[in-house]
Amino acid sequence: QKEVEQDPGPLSVPEGAIVSLNCTYSNSAFQYFMWYRQYSRKGPELLMYTYSSGNKEDGRFTAQVDKSSKYISLFIRDSQPSDSATYLCAMLFNAGGTSYGKLTFGQGTILTVHP
């Protein structure tokens, strides 16, 4: 079983739709939860990170973490064709605020927003 599971999709939605992307994980030690966006043939771009459980909002993006269920989500409101990309969830265990930072990624979900 992989530590982080993510449905690869692909997911296709019309412009303006609300998109929901999800990941589950098995390692309860994870403390930080990140979402990255990766355009074709580019490196991943950090969208946002969340520490522990709770919600975080940044513009059209909202990240949710439910540690009790080991489940995280990214919501995209008013989706745009420019949001078409692969979305990767990533998780981190960082004991005592050290400089060690192994990110564990999901497989990525391919999203297409069509006009």
Partner 1 sequence: ETGVTQSPTHLIKTRGQQVTLRCSSQSGHNTVSWYQQALGQGPQFIFQYYREEENGRGNFPPRFSGLQFPNYSSELNVNALELDDSALYLCASSQGTRVYEQFFGPGTRLTVL
Give the x/- contact pattern for partner 1 in 95-114, rule: CB under 8 A. Answer: --xxxxxxxxxxxx------
Round to whole Å and give the CA distance between 9 and 96: 36
**Helix, strand, or coil (residue 95):** helix
Give the HSE-up count for residue 79: Cα atoms under 13 Å, Cβ half-sphere.
22
115 binds partner 1 (CB under 8 A): no
32 binds partner 1 (CB under 8 A): yes
Q: Judged by CB under 8 A, which stretch of 11-19, 34-42, 59-67, 71-79 contacts partner 1? A: 34-42
CB neighbours of residue 30 within 10 Å: 21
Provide the minimum distance between the beta carbon of 10 and partner 1 in the complex, in angstroms, as a whole number. 11
Spacing of C-alpha 11 from chain mean position: 14
List residues near partner 1 by CB under 8 A. Answer: 4, 6, 8, 32, 34, 36, 41-46, 49, 51, 88, 90, 92, 94, 97-108
